[in-house]
Structure 1
Amino acid sequence: MASESNALPRRVLVTGASGLIGKAIQHVVLTEGGKLDGEEWFFISSKDADLRDVGQTRAVFEKHRPTDVIHLAARVAGLFFLSKENLQFLRDNVKIDDNVLHTAHQMDVTKVVSCLSSCIFPDKTTYPIDETMIHNGPPHESNFGYAYAKRMIDIQNRAYFRQHGRCYTSVVPTNVFGPHDNFTAENGHVLSAVIGKTYKAKLEGTQVNVCGTGNPRRQFTYSLDLARIMVWVMREYKEIDPLIISVEEEMAIKEAVEVIAESLDFKGNIHYDTTMSDGQIRKTATTAKLRRYLPDFTFTPVKEAIKMTCDWFVANYDIANK
């Protein structure tokens, strides 16, 4: 997937690099040999700068002088906290994204690739959802603050292009999981939270409590697959319009929970708390546009990826269970 089409030296700044996707990009670039000759990569996290602050954002850009940015930094949490604090997630993420995009523009950054979320999809819509339908109705009310903040990146990208000709774009991954995720029940993505719960229940001899019915269906995308495609997007994708990155097949959360239990050799009881919200029942996205660009890309099979994530979690339990 690498290309030599751009011979100019690249200085790529990755924000939010300590998170799930940032760690995956580091692995692809530094471990899988994904870095091309003439490229320099800089990975920063909240320890390097609070991107809600415009001064700190400017300082970190001046330090690294990027030609390209992969923007992953965001204030995120699990569904419970997103629903409880919609206003704060809206305000914090709007600040982060505006500071990053405007500083990139001021410092003449050639390319910015931002990472959105499948929660931006309209709550009431027809399926499958494609890239043209993102703004066709409000997102699910449970996390509207975070969702609207992420949608605004797409709006800003279009505005920077129309007014300044900037090639700032975005990707929309679906339900990402993998090593280095947050595996806590409060803040983790659904699969990672269940992995953390299930392993803890195995150690303590208790049951696993899963929020909701387990019936919603999701397209679960392995973080390393997403990272490989995002590196390609940074180098090759020329559109301002977003690109959905996802596996084709859907899996019910209940089926994914069973795969997790099998992967962790958990023999105990699994309880579905139907008093808790399921969120959206479906978020089915089409991968037709992605396949036009990368027809031969092979995603890691979901069950295999879940097993690898469980194995990583057990092997790194001391650092992962935080």
Structure 2
Amino acid sequence: MGDRKKVILVTGGSGLVGKAIETVVNERGGRQEGEEWHFVSSKDADLTNRESTQELFKRIKPTHVIHLAALVGGLFRNLKYNLDFYRQNTIINDNVLYTSYENKVEKVVSCLSTCIFPDKTIYPIDETMIHNGPPHNSNFGYAYAKRMIDVQNRAYHSQYGCKFTSVIPTNVFGPHDNFNLEDGHVLPGLINKVYTAKKTNTPFVVWGTGSPLRQFIYSLDLAHLFIWVLREYDSCDPIILSVAEKDEVTIKQAAEMVVEAMEFKGEVVYDTTKSDGQHKKTASNAKLMKLCPDFKFTPFKQAIKETCDWFVANYDTLRK
């Protein structure tokens, strides 16, 4: 990352991944000498507005950007608002990347999602398969907007030599997640439901059959890997940040671990009238492990317990 002072701007800094990076930088020895970190949220700038984005960059003068800001939602919100997810995210990404180019930012690391991969594919999916076919139709708007970041990164690199890259995390969870049952993701939704079922002495209802398979990555592990990418990974090709294929779990197994972590003793019911979404999206972390062979992931059970404990301790103020 060079010798001059590094000013790192993190968009979406108040979200799940932004907060995890902030925790690692400020509390877990992740900061290097000569680094100045700025974590911004929608309160600091409207990234759907070009002028507001430019003002933010003028104020902070970043040399490096971690771009996390996005309009996000769970399966059911995506199904309903595919156009909104496409338009808003495309505008945000274009503003951040173009303003980074205008301000001669040395490096931008953007966050993609495994939902960008083709629906019809072979497993495990890897970084070369992103554009091999249409994504799952449940969230095609969000998926295509995220795919376009990869296209823009390559275009900025080929036309201007910019060092713009992207990472593809699998299902992220951890403290500061969105635990809202309508537009949160699967694991925080399960945690909130178990907590409520325990408190109200009612059954814990899991939507779907519990059979879909997912790779979950703890937000604090992802934060360490984001910082590694910012400092060490210089290709514009995306890199998947994920646990190994063998660490994939079913939604049912994840639900059972949440039940155990929350010490829930009530009835567990699977509502099979609800959609399962995609059955599996198994991703290969071979590229990551080749480049970063010594990285140790937090055991899933421990990460779930830490997240549940955080949820209980912060229940009154968290997003739900």
C-alpha distance in 1 between matches for 2:99 and 2:250: 41
Q: Distance in 1 between matches of 2:238 and 2:204?
A: 37
Deviations 1:192-238 (A, max 9, x none): 11101110111111112222111000000000000001001011101
- CA-CA distance at 1:321 after TM superposition: 5.0
Amino acid at match of 1:133: M
Deviation beyond 3 Å, 4+ runs, structure 1: none
Contact 1:10 1:38 in 2 (8 A): yes
| Per-residue CA distance 1:112-148 (angstroms, 9 max, x = gap) | 0000011111111001111000111111100000011
Equivalent position to 2:279, from 281, 295, 305: 281
Letter in 2 for 1:13: L
Q: Secondary structure at the match of 1:75?
A: coil
8 Å CA contact 2:176–2:319 kept in 1: the answer is: no
Equivalent residue number for residue 77 of structure 1: 73
Does 1:41 find its partner at 2:37? yes
Q: What residue number does 2:168 align with?
A: 172
Of 303, 306, 309, the residue aligned with 1:305 is 303
Task: Decide which of 225, 248, 251 is 2:249's aligned counterpart.
Answer: 251
Matched, 1:236 2:232: yes
The CA deviation at 1:271 is 1.6
TM-score (norm 1): 0.97
Matches within 5 A, 1:12-51: 12-51=8-47
- 1:88 is matched with 84
Q: 2:291 aligns with which of 280, 288, 293?
A: 293
The 2-side partners of 1:130 and 1:292 are apart by 13
Alpha-carbon distance in structure 1 between the residues aligned to 2:118 and 2:209 = 22
Residue in 2 that maps onto 1:61: 57
Could you tell me how far apart the structure 2 residues matched to 1:163 and 1:184 are?
Answer: 42
SS at match of 1:12: strand
Which amino acid is the alignment partner of residue 124 of structure 1? K
Gaps of at least 5 residues in structure 2 are: none
Cα distance in 2 between the residues matched to 1:188 and 1:81:
9
Cα 1:125–1:265 change in 2 (3 A) is same
Q: Determine the structure 1 residue equivalent to 2:203.
A: 207
AA of the residue aligned to 1:37: E
SS in 1 for 2:56: helix
How many equivalent residue pairs? 318
Match of 1:145 among 141, 146, 151: 141
Checking the alignment, whether the CA contact within 8 Å between 1:196 and 1:321 is kept in structure 2 is no
Counting aligned pairs with the same residue, the percent is 61
How many Å separate the matches in 2 of 1:35 and 1:220?
25
Indicate the RMSD between aligned Cα atoms, in angstroms. 0.9
The alignment partner of 1:103 has SS state of helix
Q: 1:97 aligns to what?
A: 93
Q: Tell me, in whole angstroms, the C-alpha distance in 2 between the residues paired with 1:139 and 1:96.
A: 21
1:262 to 260, 263, 281: 260
* In 2: Cα distance, 1:269 partner to 1:121 partner: 36
